[in-house]
Structure 1
């Protein structure tokens, strides 16, 4: 049912606005709290780290609860976070209040995807998943740049959190008013789900996901600071660049959904190669910043759904848990990319951030090659095991 997918997308719009809405206002936050840009970046990396460490456990624990209830509770916590953040709390409290809803982010996403795909025909699974995940693209093209622009125009970073609060409130109303009650059904055993962590190919795809997202966020996390210092853009101009970045992600997300239905592996490989090439262009061709930002945005938004599909394909026996893990490993990439790039920026200068992007992009390509090799070996060994069992029975 498309209604479930679209409401799931609206909730994801609020969640992504909360997680990444700080990117455009990091310089303002650093100035307000009198801290360095990499310290301000912990508002993003700490959020992602909580998702990476706590997300899978929360998803396992809550997998048997009503899906509507889980989605509503999750969005309610994000709503409270937006309200408190907009009141200019001390930095430690701002950091803490942003970390709390992060525990439920993977729960919301995996639940929304399960609800949307569970109500659709099997042949439309990727399409429903793409609709839910389009909330990421919508956030990057609407709420994130709008919040940055608003904060710049009125010189008030608090307005960014007001935007987040409004979106979360609308999502909560939609969930409560228009979603039917959705019991989760029979809860899979923990052992059956955890078993995918013993598969070498799945673990390799997980590390690939970490490196891929690290590549994307090593520069994107400091988007505003990079364009301000390297390209000498104002806050308003950065908001426009964020808008272009997000707008390019909309057709990128649509195309990724189409290509994934044909070949998950080929789509993944093409994305990784393009990411490494863009990182080189960002460093060596600053005069082409605008077209490069458009290409970068086209690749950035679909990276989440592409990496997720790639990991789920490696563990079809536990798609819900695999989805949660893909979100967690992806956010581990956000943490790693933001932290490493923050250190490079502090020690070597912000103009060197694209080199971190190139390093992680290359690493993700290598891990993809390893995953494909391991998957081929697993496929070769499976028939042999089956034949041995059959021979024993005969």
Structure 2
């Protein structure tokens, strides 16, 4: 199981690198393809559009295909998309290639999260999901700065080719290390769509759109905030963004452990802590050391939410979790769009660069409120059903097929997690 999760994390690392490195390479792309930097910024939008379109469509199209095969196909499509980016002769073909590259993003993380959960014991599922997402967080610490540096010295096409190599390595690792994961017995588009009748699932997605929008309201304007308010030199911003990535990596680990122990309280607590930290940033941003500490904490609390929310959505859609899990990625992109929009409105209103963190704090507080209301409603429903106590109001899931096979092979019926301590 650990090696299988590492295989997923390698591909997640490649995806995170290609998504965020484009932001730092816009000047090189613009100069090489003879377009303005704002026009080059459309490449970021093209990728995001690909994520929103591809997450539901590719997931629905692959509903009846074994999950391992789906993961290999999505990782391969991502790799081919990056290769097309590397050889694109003009801006418009590059934009199309970026859209193609974004198509498998949401579907991969959706299917990968479900696969990671299936490979783990029930009490370790959130941690398994966090291991896969660690590739995304480590990309922000190592991959994005390295890719930006490489692109500045050897050209942006060299960066794309390196990502192609990493994506190919991830695809081969999935093919070799991830065990066979059959499609669900009731697989199909109608079955996957049926889970969206759940009000609790919509509430979970709403916490992402609003609560995580607070994170992006701040992150979208972090560079001018650090240079114009905190007083950091432009060259130091890359180091601060790496610090952001360190916080995200630590938060991802903490979020996985906390969610396995107490899922609902963890979701609520992390949103509250994120809201308070974002609001405090409007004050701490005026001094370098306090700004650096706050950047670390925002990354920590902001990404501690991810494995918790991803696990919550999969549990709320446990009869057909793949499409719902992929939809979370679309919700994150909506959070990105709305956070950047409302943060920008505050700046345009003349409130200064410290306004976006305040806006982010309000959005995160809304996410926390939705999470608390959803938890309370879930507890009332559980009590009304008379189903007895459940872990955070969510009934325990039956063991996955892979776990049942492992127990059968052992012959004792003892879960492998207990056998290995």
TM over 0.5: yes
Q: What is the SS of the residue equivalent to 2:261?
A: coil
Partner Cα distance (1:91, 1:187) in 2? 43
Q: What stretches of structure 1 of length at least 5 have no aligned partner? A: 385-394
Q: Is the 8 A contact 1:4 1:115 kept in 2?
A: no
Alignment partner, residue 244 of structure 2: 245
Aligned partner of 1:272 in structure 2 is: 271
* 2:173 aligned residue: 174
Q: Does the 8 Å contact 2:128/2:256 carry over to 1? A: no
State whether residues 26 and 224 of structure 1, in contact with CA within 8 Å, keep that contact through their aligned partners in structure 2. no
Identify which range, 23-32 or 174-183, moves more after superposition: 23-32
Q: Deviations over 1:185-211 (max 9, x none)?
A: 534243443232222222112111111
Q: Aligned pair in 2 of structure 1 residues 351, 125: CA closer, same or farther (>3 Å)?
A: closer
Q: Report the 3-state secondary structure (helix = DSSP H, G, I; strand = E; otherwise coil) of the residue aligned with 1:33.
A: coil
What SS does the aligned partner of 2:147 have?
helix
In the superposition, relative to structure 1, how do residues 140 and 35 fare at CA in structure 2: closer, same or farther (>3 Å)?
A: closer
Q: Which residue of 1 aligns with 2:10?
A: 10
Query: Are 1:335 and 2:334 matched, yes or no?
Result: no
1:125-178 CA-to-partner distances (Å, cap 9, x unmatched) read 2332222122122212210222234445x3955554344333223212323444
CA gap of 1:200–1:119, structure 2 versus 1, over 3 A, is closer
Tell me the distance in 1 between the aligned counterparts of 2:132 and 2:115. Answer: 10
Residue correspondence of structure 1 range 217-296 to structure 2 within 5 A: 217-231=216-230, 233-234=232-233, 236-286=235-285, 287=287, 288-296=290-298
Equivalent pair of 1:45/1:334 in contact (CA under 8 Å): no
Check whether the contact 1:209–1:326 (CA below 8 A) recurs between aligned residues: yes
Alpha-carbon distance in structure 1 between the residues aligned to 2:381 and 2:108:
32
**Which of 287, 294, 301 matches 1:299?**
301
CA shift digits 1:9-56 (9 cap, x unpaired): 1111111222222344456667873244xx655544443344334412
| 1:392 corresponds to | none
Q: Deviations over 1:317-360 (max 9, x none)?
A: 33333312222212221232234434555664655322331232
Does the residue aligned with 2:318 lie in a helix, a strand or coil?
coil
1:140-159 map, 5 Å:
140-151=140-151, 154=153, 156-158=155-157
Aligned pairs for 1:1-394 within 5 A? 1-25=1-25, 33-36=35-38, 42-86=42-86, 90-151=90-151, 154=153, 156-158=155-157, 160-184=159-183, 186-231=185-230, 233-234=232-233, 236-286=235-285, 287=287, 288-342=290-344, 344-345=346-347, 348=350, 350-383=353-386
TM-score by length of 2: 0.79
Q: Which moved more, 1:88-97 or 1:300-309?
A: 88-97
Kindly tell me: are residues 380 and 176 of structure 1, through their superposed partners in 2, closer, same or farther at Cα, counting changes over 3 Å? closer
Change (3 A) 1:289 1:328: same
Query: How far apart are residue 179 of structure 1 and its match?
Result: 4.0
What is the CA–CA distance in structure 1 between the aligned matches of 2:243 and 2:114, rounded to whole Å? Answer: 31
Aligned 8 A contact 1:209 1:307 in 2: yes
Q: CA deviation at 1:74?
A: 1.6
Contact 2:203 2:371 in 1 (8 A): yes
